[in-house]
Amino acid sequence: MQIFHTVQGLRQPLAQARREGKRIGFVPTMGNLHDAHIELVKRAQQTNDLVVCSIFVNGLQFGLNEDWDKYPRTFEDDCAKLRAVGCDFLFHPDDKEMYPNGLDTQSRVICPTMTDVLCGASRPGHFEGVTTVVTKLFNIVQPDEAIFGAKDFQQLAVIRRMAEDLCVPVEITAAPIHREVDGLAMSSRNGYLSAAERPRANQLNVSLRWIVSQIEQGNRDFPALEAEAKRQIDTAGFKPDYISVCNSKTLELAAQDDKDITVLGAMYTSGARLIDNISLN
């Protein structure tokens, strides 16, 4: 695996790969890689000749009082995992390389829809940081395909809308959520769970699956289902952030006759904020 720390350094071999007619896949990450990230790389390898992974902890998408300083930086371990799976290129820029003029004067990419609800409601400015850095990474790598995990369903929807609006010639692929045996969605933030919390941390997934089962049985009282799921999470000893039954494409609250529905949720543990979702049609 070749490692690059500068934009120009990465662009040179990628330009050569394009001249050779190679198809390029891209997996953007913030590092602290786990099995779910590795599955994204494997998915990219299935449909591309060459795979680029990036590791960059993007300060622009962290708000005040969030965990940018504490976010785990595990570069050597990450490299070992990427080498083991056969990743071709790793792009690992520092803040100066990604934001040479500083964060305060950085041009921003703003998606005006779907960003002030769900996770966006409790993390103001988060998605502006996501769409800005993803646009920059797309411009740097210029991939044919980019693979994102479906766990961050809202992020995926926002990135798809951003790419559509800006005519970005990148195929956006969603990979299924990679889960622990008990249903807990794999996440770097699972490392913040205490030993006492971990056996109960799948409660978010349990409550979302309960809502899905109710909808499949014909229950369309979405507000009541959301309220009961929040009660379940609270009873398990966690603090619900939101539980929402949404239209899968627009992320607006689902209408009674919507057929493509995604149930999304977030909850707080003592040291982490966990998210999950389940789609049905």
DSSP secondary structure string for all residues of 68-113: TTTS---HHHHHHHHHHHT--EEE---HHHH-TT-STT-------S
Q: Which two tokens stand for residue 32?
A: 């602290």
pTM: 0.93
Residue 122's pLDDT band (cuts 50, 70, 90): confident
Q: Which residues are CB-neighbours of 124 under 8 A, at least 6 positions away? A: 63, 116
Q: What is the pLDDT of residue 281?
A: 82
The 10s digit of each residue's pLDDT in 153-164 is 999 999 999 999
For residue 82, the model assigns a pLDDT of 98
* 3 state DSSP class of 210: helix
- Give residue limits of the domains in the chain: 2-175, 188-280
- The span from the CA of 252 to the CA of 237, in Å, is 29
Distance separating alpha carbons of residues 97 and 8, to the nearest angstrom? 10
Q: Is pLDDT of 67 > 80?
A: no
Q: What is the pLDDT of residue 64?
A: 59
CATH number of the 188-280 domain: 3.30.1300.10
Which has the minimum average pLDDT: 2-6, 121-125, 215-219, 235-239? Answer: 121-125
Nearest to 86 by CA among 56, 22, 41: 41
Residues catalogued as catalytic: 37
Backbone angles phi, psi at 246, to 5 degrees: -125, 155
Q: For residue range 23-60, list pLDDT tens digits in order.
A: 999 999 999 999 999 999 999 999 999 999 999 999 99
pLDDT value, residue 69: 77
Please state, for a pLDDT cut of 70, what percent of the chain lies above it. Answer: 99
Chain centroid, CA 197 distance in Å: 23
pLDDT band per the 50, 70, 90 thresholds, residue 71: confident
65: confidence class by pLDDT, cuts 50, 70, 90: low
Nearest Cα residue to 59 out of 116, 112, 133, 147: 133
CATH number for the segment(s) 2-175: 3.40.50.620
